[in-house]
Structure 1
Amino acid sequence: MIQLIILLFALSILPTIYLNYLHISGRSIIVDASVQFGTSLIFLLIITVIQRYFHTNKVFGLPNVSSTILFSGLSVLLIYSITRSSSSELTYTQFVYQSLPIRGALILLSFFLITAILWIDQERIHVARIQSFAIDKERESIKIELNSLQQKFKPHFLFNSLNSISALTVVDPKKAREMIHLLSDFMRRAVQEDDQALIPLSEEIEHLKRYVAIEQIRFGDRLAVSFDIEEEITNEKVPALILQPIIENAIKYGLYGSLDQVDISIAIKLINDKIDVIVTNPFDEDAQQASAGTGYGLNSIRKKIFLIYGQQQQLETTAENGQFITHLTIPLA
């Protein structure tokens, strides 16, 4: 910007060299240079705003060309009007009148040059931002992929399930076998599924029900889970493995510190051309503070939605009247 101001100043005082040769008064010379520099500076500020907030894909797009021609004409008009009215010197008046075509061409050329320089500068910034965004997105994708592997092979879930199976082999071998089959199917699906893939909602719900069935065997009558799903949307595509972290969070914090039966409801409906998922579980504020976790599960869902759909604020949580509500909105693919 400073370099452009210096360039404009140099172009403004260029005519003064010839004016001095014609023995024009110093006052007229100062007025001439000031008017040209002032109008050029105003154009510089305006074209800077245009490039910053209305940057076009082409250097000589309509906004750039039209603004350059418009302000070149206005600059010539102002130079002619102000300098002529501010000086009564015949020689100077004749010079202004005769030099207008050449001066207008130089102003137009200089304004186009300024526009091109500012466009190139903003284009460089624009490209840098896109590259930075792409790099950040790739880093987030890698981070989520690594964390998803950790999610798939959660030691605590696997160990708890194996401990439950071990105990059931003594007291209830039939349930132990059932849990082994459920756990095997669940782990096979978790390992084989592409974490970024879009799958039918029906398949995601089937996987979710396997997880719920495993947890119901572990906790027995203490855990009750109800599903309310619109059949019309079961063929819609959703990101794979996106619902299980929500239910895991609900089970973990719904059962923590409670010996009574815990009711968890899962509602999945189509609202405003988006899949609405609402999960409700009991909420004890004192117990939640004692068992506060990292919150990775829900954060991973937010990041996954952003990476796949480019949208934020699709997952919200609220706590009211002893209930914790998780609301996930999934755009239709």
Structure 2
Amino acid sequence: MPVELFKRPWLSFLVHWLAWEGLYFLMGLPLILAAPYRNWENFFFNYGLLGSVNFLLFYGCAFYLIPALFIKRKNIWALVISSLLLAFLFTFIKYRLEMWNFETKLAEVKAAISRIPAIDTTATGGKTGRQFPATPVSPMQWNSYVRAYISFSFLIIIIAFAYRLLLVWYGHEKVRKDLENQKLQAELSFLKMQINPHFLFNALNNIYSMAVLERAQKTSNGIMKLSEMIRYMLYEKEDEQYRVTLDKEISHINNFIDLQKLRYEGELFIHFIIEGDITGRKVPPLLLFPLIENACKHGIVQDPAKPVSIQITIMDKFLNFSIHNFKNDFLKDQTGGIGLVNVQKRLSLLYPQQDLLHIQNTRKEFDVQLQLPL
């Protein structure tokens, strides 16, 4: 059962422990029921206490050691060395518990013998006719114990490794199915938008031609930018990793900024800076766009002292995106926030278990920092 199903770590630990002990007891129950003498005390010691120690080894490897060293860091040697140390450590813990159990029972036997009164055994040839408490069997020496039980500790680590890989596979399958469903829903949405795209483009081209004939340069430019944006949203194809080239995404952003400039009288203060080489880089389509649209919609775009600042920095393996705006006191959308929620959901599907988006939202300012793997 995936630990991600539980919101509280202690609940995950408890459920896994109960499942482990339940299976442990079920495996050991036929043995004690078939035995001529049922020593329940030893049964609960072996399958309860020692079973819990084995569970701690399993849980620590499956949910802490393997994720930290193998899944995140891919450090095989550190995982092997840590596994060896843990196997010896938990074998030693079980050995000390076995010794403690033996010494406790031995002390009980000695106490029981000391309470038996002395009797004359001369007439019976040295035989008392009474049963003395059975002396507990001494556990192996440490060297023999390690040789006998260290392999069992390694088996538990192997089970933990297999279980964790099963969880990773399950998580990847879930993400893959979510992506397929999201892509299907997106395609259905695009189909709804594409009822007659040729009519839409023909209409825009006709209006553009009319604007040119009437010498309405500003209007014709706006229509052309809008046409290019719609064409990008409808027809730009993604690769098998749901990405498009960064230069096309930037061109789409620039078209949007140009449209914003056509909306207002006077100068607009939207600073868009690109640092690094964008050649051959790919990003998920329309992932940055809702953040820019949100900043232009709710920001102060005509105050030179409070511009909308957008920056894309290309690193070796990451794209760093930042956007900052001061909030205006008008144009409040009561149903807003859909674009931001959409970005967060897409990030969780495309890059599961990665904290990529950081938002600072104050009363007067809004700041977004996003780091995308390239």
TM over 0.5: yes
Alignment partner, residue 250 of structure 2: 205
Q: Deviations over 1:263-298 (max 9, x none)?
A: 75233154997544333445245642xx22252322
Structure 1's 301 and 208: CA in aligned 2 closer, same or farther, altered over 3 A? same
Alignment partner, residue 109 of structure 2: 87
Q: Deviations over 1:121-178 (max 9, x none)?
A: 99558625741553245315532663487489599xx89x969969957964333433
* Distance of 1:71 and 1:127 partners within structure 2: 28
* Distance of 2:89 and 2:245 partners within structure 1: 51
Please give the residue correspondences for 1:188-199 in structure 2 after superposition, counting only pairs within 5 Å. Answer: 188-190=231-233, 191-194=235-238, 196-199=242-245
In structure 1, give the amino acid aligned to 2:346.
K
Select which of 249, 271, 274 maps to 2:294: 249
In structure 2, give the amino acid aligned to 1:185.
E
Shift, 1:208, TM fit: 0.9
Residue pair 1:224, 1:261 contacting (<8 A) in 2 also: yes
Alignment partner, residue 24 of structure 1: none
In structure 1, give the amino acid aligned to 2:57.
I
* Distance of 2:361 and 2:183 partners within structure 1: 25
* Distance of 2:131 and 2:87 partners within structure 1: 35
* Distance of 1:10 and 1:75 partners within structure 2: 24
Residue pair 2:58, 2:156 contacting (<8 A) in 1 also: no
Matched, 1:135 2:174: yes
In structure 2, give the amino acid aligned to 1:87.
V
Shift, 1:318, TM fit: 1.8
Matched, 1:299 2:341: yes
Structure 1's 148 and 245: CA in aligned 2 closer, same or farther, altered over 3 A? farther
Residue pair 2:61, 2:157 contacting (<8 A) in 1 also: no
Structure 1's 36 and 143: CA in aligned 2 closer, same or farther, altered over 3 A? closer
Farther off after superposition, 141-150 or 299-308: 141-150
Partner of 1:224, secondary structure, is coil
Structure 1's 173 and 3: CA in aligned 2 closer, same or farther, altered over 3 A? closer
Q: Deviations over 1:84-113 (max 9, x none)?
A: 33224598688545x756xx98xx67x94x
Residue pair 2:276, 2:314 contacting (<8 A) in 1 also: no
* Distance of 1:92 and 1:35 partners within structure 2: 19
Shift, 1:314, TM fit: 0.9
Select which of 34, 38, 46 maps to 2:53: 46
Alignment partner, residue 228 of structure 2: 185
Over the matched positions of the two proteins, sequence identity in percent amounts to 15
Q: TM-score, normalised by structure 2?
A: 0.58
Alignment partner, residue 321 of structure 2: 277
* Distance of 1:141 and 1:72 partners within structure 2: 48
* Distance of 2:293 and 2:101 partners within structure 1: 74
In structure 2, give the amino acid aligned to 1:329.
L
Partner of 1:292, secondary structure, is coil
Unaligned runs of 5+ in 2: 1-20, 71-78, 114-129
Residue pair 1:43, 1:71 contacting (<8 A) in 2 also: no
Structure 1's 146 and 222: CA in aligned 2 closer, same or farther, altered over 3 A? farther
* Distance of 2:35 and 2:135 partners within structure 1: 10
Q: TM-score, normalised by structure 1?
A: 0.64
Partner of 1:87, secondary structure, is helix
Residue pair 1:47, 1:67 contacting (<8 A) in 2 also: no
Unaligned runs of 5+ in 1: 18-28
Residue pair 2:311, 2:322 contacting (<8 A) in 1 also: yes
Residue pair 2:310, 2:322 contacting (<8 A) in 1 also: yes
Alignment partner, residue 125 of structure 2: none
Structure 1's 39 and 197: CA in aligned 2 closer, same or farther, altered over 3 A? same
Structure 1's 169 and 282: CA in aligned 2 closer, same or farther, altered over 3 A? farther
* Distance of 1:133 and 1:332 partners within structure 2: 18
Matched, 1:328 2:369: yes
* Distance of 1:3 and 1:279 partners within structure 2: 53
Residue pair 2:356, 2:371 contacting (<8 A) in 1 also: no
Structure 1's 95 and 271: CA in aligned 2 closer, same or farther, altered over 3 A? same
Alignment partner, residue 318 of structure 1: 361
Between structures 1 and 2, the one with greater helix share: 1
Alignment partner, residue 18 of structure 2: none
Select which of 258, 261, 268 maps to 1:224: 268
Residue pair 2:322, 2:367 contacting (<8 A) in 1 also: yes
Residue pair 2:237, 2:244 contacting (<8 A) in 1 also: no
Shift, 1:7, TM fit: 5.7
* Distance of 1:14 and 1:79 partners within structure 2: 24
